[in-house]
Structure 1
Amino acid sequence: MQDDPTVPDGTENEPVADAVAGNWVDRFAPGFTRPYLRLSRADRPIGTWLLLLPCWWGLLLAMLSDQQPRWFDLWIFVGCALGAWLMRGAGCTWNDITDRDFDAQVARTRSRPIPSGQVSVKGAVAWMCAQALIALCILLTFNTAAVALGILALLPVAVYPFAKRFTWWPQVFLGIAFNWGALLAWTAHTGSLGAPAVLLYTAGIAWTLFYDTIYAHLDTEDDALIGIKSTARLFGDATPQWMRRFLVACVGLMGLAVIFALRDNGSFLAMVLALAGPWAMGWHMAWQLRGLDINNNNKLLKLFHVNRDTGIIPLLFFAAALLA
């Protein structure tokens, strides 16, 4: 791998193979910024949504729990959005640094900025650090307990890219990292961690196992050739049965989180509305299962992307419960 920081002429205009056609990076971003924005997956916002939504779940559930919404919660809401964009970018950059040799061997990923020569490893490290430092500045505006949780989150982020080398369950490590915001946002509002936040966090991990198993099926053939492990390869044709289990776990754990959060201060109407969130989310996941075809990559990618809507569903019900 070359460490020459110079981007070869014209390569900044070459989109990544699995990016959404006509995305804003390819259309509007200045040429010299495109390789770095692609490192951050700015051309594919679905990952930012999947990282952000558990943060917003945690914040709204915390507000429902103590019935004490404050103006600072608006900043937590915005700060989580900015932090999710930055940390998703930093995490993806770290993933691409560690996976650069694997990515060069997979058809879907060999056009990414590092294996394609658009960005050097040194340049990627600098870009990762810049994103993480800006995210740290946002984190430091929260309370001490939330700051500590945010710093601790770096551990699963650092470990995740290596998980597929030693376990068939790397999606668990992704879930641990991607749903950390549920713990952080709850704590940013309440000042301490609580059982509802932990239950919500585990529900998010089950959800991640659901949607990332769908995504992992896109690469099963290449992964088998280069020795990469995943739940998709582990489950094979039994994937639908396993995904039903993840669906049930997600809905059940989120329902318990709602009950524990609202049992002391929530009204009956708020409890009903909030519980409708995981129920409706479960139906949306069941709809995905009905359309699942693990041998159809176009269908797999579409189902993966609709999980943004899956995660928004409980958020809407939590917001309605807060207004009840």
Structure 2
Amino acid sequence: MLREKLDLYLDLIRWNRPAGWLLLLWPSLSALWVAAHGFPGWHLLAVFTLGTILMRSAGCCVNDVADRDFDKHVKRTAQRPVTAGRIGVKEALVLGAVLALAAFALVLTTNAATIAWSFVALAIAIAYPFAKRFVSMPQAVLGVAFSFGIPMAFAAVESRVPLLAWVLLLGNLFWVLAYDTEYAMVDRDDDLKIGIKTSAITLGRADVAVVMLCYAAYLVIWAAALAGEKLGAFFALGLLAAAGQAAWHWSLIRDRTREGCFRAFRLNHWVGFAVFAGIVLGYATRS
């Protein structure tokens, strides 16, 4: 019984699908490196890595509870533990609360500015699952939630959030819009039937073009924002690698097949990793 319960909890937090927390992790770590002008130290690296995993897991618990009545009508999500009745609503919320408290315990080892911003991040994370009921493009809300590690990283290093952090957040928001619209394209037929709002539905036949424009906006904004850091050829190569992957994703989503769109979404963390690797190597080799 204990093993079965553990397996259900791991399924609930998507433990076997790390793409979700990697999408959160790379921009947060990139911001840490930028704020520290290089390696930020093992303490902050551990706090943001573990905190990202814990908060994404907590977010899955809240999201599955909020969406349980919708998910049973969607092919891809019908067998999620809460939706299928294998985990109760209260049980899922308790698990989410425990995970969020563990993440907050990590934040308490930083500074007052980071602690203060963590409450804003938590509020946005809780609000997102309900946005699709009221907002035509709830992916924009997710974009803010998935980008909030950026100002928190600057707060942890500098005890403040400079303009650069908000510019990087804006750029990252476009990346989230790109990959989460790809995700929404997978479920478009089901979402239309049950009446929830997504960017894929709102954009209609403009979805592919907008996704590509969002990729471009993300990379251009980050390139411009970090131009003054003089990160050299490695950063440029990282951006080129990310742009190449975005171009490949166009070939995956242009026909709007479920398989192609889902594959593009699942592989998006490599786009973020390419930019992160360029930043790390850029600082490591900067004269």
**TM-score bucket (shorter structure):** over 0.9
Equivalent residue letter for 2:257:
N
* Aligned-partner SS, 1:108: coil
In the TM superposition, what whole-angstrom CA distance separates every residue of 1:91-112 from its partner, at most 9, and x where no partner exists? Answer: 1110111111111222221111
Is 1:170 aligned with 2:138? yes
Change (3 A) 1:258 1:276: farther
Aligned to 1:204: 172
Aligned to 1:297: 258
Aligned to 1:91: 59
Q: Aligned to 1:117, which of 75, 85, 88?
A: 85
Alpha-carbon contact 2:187-2:258 (below 8 Å) kept: no
Aligned to 1:247: 215
Is 1:273 aligned with 2:234? yes
Question: Structure 1 residue 256: deviation in Å?
Answer: 2.2
Pairwise CA RMSD: 1.7
Alpha-carbon contact 2:246-2:271 (below 8 Å) kept: yes
Question: Structure 1 residue 290: deviation in Å?
Answer: 2.8
Consecutive unaligned residues in structure 1, runs of 5 or more: 1-11, 13-28, 263-267
Q: Percent identity?
A: 32
Is 1:45 aligned with 2:18? yes
Consecutive unaligned residues in structure 2, runs of 5 or more: none
Question: Structure 1 residue 76: deviation in Å?
Answer: 1.1
Aligned to 2:272: 311
Aligned to 1:24: none
In the TM superposition, what whole-angstrom CA distance separates every residue of 1:285-317 from its partner, at most 9, and x where no partner exists? Answer: 122113324532122121111111111001111
* Aligned-partner SS, 1:153: helix
Is 1:62 aligned with 2:35? yes
Question: Structure 1 residue 280: deviation in Å?
Answer: 3.2
* Aligned-partner SS, 2:166: helix
Is 1:32 aligned with 2:2? no
TM, length-normalised to structure 1? 0.83
Greater shift after overlay, 271-280 or 236-245? 271-280
Larger Rg computed on CA atoms: 1
Change (3 A) 1:295 1:169: same
Equivalent residue letter for 1:132:
A
Q: Aligned to 2:245, which of 284, 292, 298?
A: 284
Change (3 A) 1:295 1:288: closer
Question: Structure 1 residue 283: deviation in Å?
Answer: 2.6
In the TM superposition, what whole-angstrom CA distance separates every residue of 1:200-229 from its partner, at most 9, and x where no partner exists? Answer: 111111000000111101111110011011
Partner Cα distance (2:96, 2:109) in 1: 21
Question: Structure 1 residue 38: deviation in Å?
Answer: 1.5
Partner Cα distance (1:50, 1:167) in 2: 23
Equivalent residue letter for 1:229:
K
Aligned to 2:206: 238
Partner Cα distance (2:252, 2:121) in 1: 34
TM, length-normalised to structure 2? 0.94
Equivalent residue letter for 2:241:
A
**Aligned residues, how many?**
285
Change (3 A) 1:183 1:275: farther
Aligned to 1:25: none
